[in-house]
A and B are shown apart, each in its own frame.
Chain A
Amino acid sequence: MTLRLESTNASDIASAISAERHRKGATATGMVMTLVIVADEEYQADATQAAASSAGDHPCRILTVIPRPGRGEPQLDAGISVGDSEGPGELVRLRLRNSLAEHPASVVLPLLLSDTPVVAWWPAGHPADLATDPIGRLASRRIVDTTSTDAFVSALIERKAHLATGDTDLSWTRLTPWRAALAATLDQPYEPITEAVVYSEAIPAAPLMRTWLEWRLGVPVTYLDSEGPAINQIILRTTGGAITITRPTGHMATVERNGIAVKELFLPRRSVKDLISEELSRLDPDDTYEETMSRLDITRLEPDNDGAADQDDTAGEQTENTTEGP
């Protein structure tokens, strides 16, 4: 059940949350963080839903800030739900109307849980400089999603220009299963790696993967355009052949070493809920992401080939072998 307060203020909202919690008989809260979501009306519902269901893993106070700029008197409307069907945590939707839309911190600051981390998340569209943004400044971890932007190349350039410790990007989070799978293949003996190829749709994760591989492996990495979905193949070429991971449908992947010993691997594309859960599981700065971003070459954010037409070269054959292989 959602409790609605209209033309209210932060203090009344705080009292209402507290009263609601007592009414439910939950005296100890155990909440470990406040998650502030900043989103327009269009995106807030999905994002809040994803955050609320990931709160099943870890109750937090979710403050969804919905700016509603316009002319007229400033007004704050709130919808509060505590530990119900939407999730076990506390969930407050804050509609900042008219000129109040420009002063979100004045509403959010009094509603932060005391002495616990604050995480800010912009599910779609975000300020250029997160760390100095009024909401971003309150947070120790600032999550954006460059995949959700129309022009991801400029989004990545902007992210790199303003990168601060604590910034993170769901495009990077999406890479974790891929990175884990690649790392696992190198736990076994392999011949010296000479180069690598990333096949992917045009998504921000692809140049991030390229940069990470170049940094870690110290070899040139080519990024070639493909039909996807997302990253669909990565090849590590060695002096004796290749280690190939192919994920044709965005679910199961096959691992191939020197054209033999095909293995299958569960490599699913994950929901936003899972991505947010991963983000919230560690609140310390992600040094690997920061280093990857600082190494990101902004002149090489797009595929090395121009357009999907050139895709089927040697690696295309690899894909075929994999699907028909033993």
Chain B
Amino acid sequence: MPSTYTPGHNPLRSSADKRLPRIAGPCSVVIFGVTGDLSKRKLMPAIYDLANRGLLPPSFALVGFARRDWEDQDFAKEVHDAVREHARTKFDEDVWAQLSKGIRFVAGEFTDDAAFAKLASTLHELDEQRGTGGNHAFYLSIPPRFFSVVTEQLKRSGLSHSVEGAWRRVVVEKPFGHDLESARELNEILGQVFPSGSIFRIDHYLGKETVQNLLALRFSNTMFEPLWNCNYVDHVQITMAEDIGIGSRAGYYDGIGAARDVIQNHLLQLMALTAMDEPTSFDARSVRLEKEKVLAAVELPADLDAHTARGQYLPGWQGGIPVKGFLQEDNIPADSITETYAAIKLEVANRRWAGVPFYLRTGKRLARRVSEIAVVFKRAPHLPFQATDTQELTSNALVIRVQPDEGVTIKFGSKVPGTQMEVRDVTMDFAYGDSFTENSPEAYERLILDVLLGEAPLFPRHEEVEMSWEILDPILDHWASRGQPPGYDSGGWGPIQADDMLARDGRSWRRP
């Protein structure tokens, strides 16, 4: 009979039926570190938004685990407040009422066996009462030093073990270690308890629509890919600038710095997606394979002093507001050598990219918050105009804006109207949000849904994480031997050393 249940086949679903959204199956999400900032600002609102968009199953449950003396309803109130304040979609009492029925709280320390026994019985109850079907995702929104004890506890209490037909997944956030060695340790800790296919490393950047659109732009069009190589590309600049300082994150940030915080994960991932060859398909494995090939081909400059730059923001003004310098921030030692700005030059040693530098930069307290990938093209080999005609013409560029205002800009030369021949730069803009009917969901919504659906293309694997550390470790070691980084003005575009670094190559940073 065609209507009999077979796992993986649903007669009411069909790839031709594109109206039906992907809805996660019955499951629960267990958040460790539920009192943290990320949980309040991103995770809980994203879960509500998913529910409001009808993408969570009716049997969904949300379990908080933390060292608070809370009952279920206290936690529910906490979630309610977070949702009210931060959710993207409109608050609907009915959606909330439905979601709140599946909210549970387990109080306890990570070392407390009884708390985990309670957690196990809570999940068991949810399976029975709510029909979560034995499917549980453990979201470790906690510092990595607790991973070991928590995963051990999950194993001991039998929570990491899934029965036939059900799944257990673990979700961790960046940073994935602070160097190659610690990344390996971390992976071992997780790997002892969860199989590698059940470990989801969240880098919320990779959940952004534009990052996925980068793949669509490159591989679904004909007009870009022929130019996407060392014959036409002069260099690539990948920028992630923040206008804020470290805020209250001193404890996390000191000793980590801009390169570990941003370059190791976001920027190297963006670089890999920009530079990789076409994957044979868009499944997780094929895309990863191509990314890994690029990361394996990355070469560092021989002279790290000349081709990297770092800095610490100085007291000053940012966007009209007086701001503290990094060394004056609370809980930052006056002799901290942690960098808040990092710029590095990398090359990709393969036929496609030989001789094309990739400049990666990130910093805090810069002029504005912006992330972009700028592919800067070579100048035309011959300009049949007088030199004065094209004085205002710079290089053509294709800029993929990741945030804010996601989209694509193309910069090229155009004649200025009039009797004189003058060619000047103009831009052509595509704003992602203008052209499509769905509002871009928050990255966390997409990623959480992917975890629940078990779809992994947007999550880096430990191989990629380790390769990124292999690239970054020599630079970090070199910097560690060079003492305190130079200062740079708050509210600008970084230290003068970064400008010098590009000037040495006869280039300059784009103002994003």
Contacts and interface: CB of A to CB of B under 8 A. Distances in A.
Interface in A148-196: 173, 176-177, 179-180, 182-184, 186-194
Nearest to B11: A216
B92 interface: yes
Contact of B23 (A28, A187, A251, A263): A187
A32 to B, nearest CB: 5
Contact of A183 (B1, B13, B101): B13
Contacts of A286: 18-19
Chain B interface size, under 10 / 10 to 19 / 20 to 34 / 35 or more: 35 or more
A76 B26 CA distance: 57
Interface in A208-246: 216-219
B69 to A, nearest CB: 30
A287 B19 CA distance: 11
A266 B11 contact: no
Contacts of B430: 28, 30
B94 A252 contact: yes
B1 A192 contact: yes
B58 interface: yes
A281 interface: yes
Contact of B59 (A180, A194, A263): A263
A255 B19 contact: no
B324 to A, nearest CB: 37
Nearest to B55: A180
Interface in A263-301: 263-266, 277-278, 280-282, 284, 286-288
B16 A287 contact: yes
B94 A217 contact: no
A58 interface: yes
B131 interface: yes
A263 B131 contact: yes
B434 interface: yes
A252 B95 CA distance: 9
Interface string A51-75: 0001001110000000000000000
- Most chain B CB within 10 A, of A30, A54, A251, A284, is at A30
A57 B57 contact: no
A284 B4 CA distance: 31
B20 A28 contact: no
- Most chain A CB within 10 A, of B57, B437, B439, is at B437
B437 A58 contact: yes
Contacts of A288: 14, 16-19
A31 B16 CA distance: 27
A148 B98 CA distance: 32
Given A217-B11, A286-B19, A180 B434 contact: no
A173 B20 CA distance: 11
Given A183-B10, A183-B12, A266 B51 contact: yes
B334 interface: no
A284 B5 CA distance: 31
Given A30-B430, A192-B3, A58 B436 contact: yes
A91 B59 CA distance: 43
A186 B2 contact: no
B25 interface: yes
B255 to A, nearest CB: 44
A261 interface: yes
A193 B12 CA distance: 12
B58 A265 contact: yes
A282 B18 CA distance: 8
Interface in A28-62: 28, 30-32, 54, 57-59
Given A177-B54, A252-B94, A263-B59, A278 B19 contact: yes
- Most chain B CB within 10 A, of A31, A54, A57, is at A57
A218 B3 contact: yes
Contacts of B52: 266
A277 B19 CA distance: 12
B438 A281 contact: yes
- Most chain B CB within 10 A, of A173, A255, A263, A284, is at A263
A179 B18 CA distance: 12
Nearest to A59: B434
Contact of B20 (A179, A281, A284, A287): A179
- Most chain A CB within 10 A, of B1, B95, B130, is at B1
- Most chain A CB within 10 A, of B12, B57, B92, B133, is at B12
B3 A188 contact: no
Contacts of A265: 58, 98
Contact of B12 (A57, A182, A287): A182
Q: Which 4 A-B pairs have the closest CB atoms?
A: A30-B434, A193-B3, A263-B58, A218-B2
26 contacts: A30-B430, A32-B436, A58-B437, A59-B434, A59-B435, A180-B54, A183-B23, A186-B13, A187-B23, A189-B5, A190-B5, A192-B1, A193-B1, A216-B11, A218-B2, A218-B11, A219-B3, A263-B58, A264-B97, A264-B98, A264-B101, A265-B58, A266-B51, A281-B436, A288-B14, A288-B17
Interface of A: 28, 30-32, 54, 57-59, 173, 176-177, 179-180, 182-184, 186-194, 216-219, 251-252, 255, 261, 263-266, 277-278, 280-282, 284, 286-288
Given A31-B435, A32-B435, A193-B4, 8 more contacts: A28-B430, A54-B437, A189-B165, A193-B1, A216-B12, A218-B3, A251-B94, A263-B130
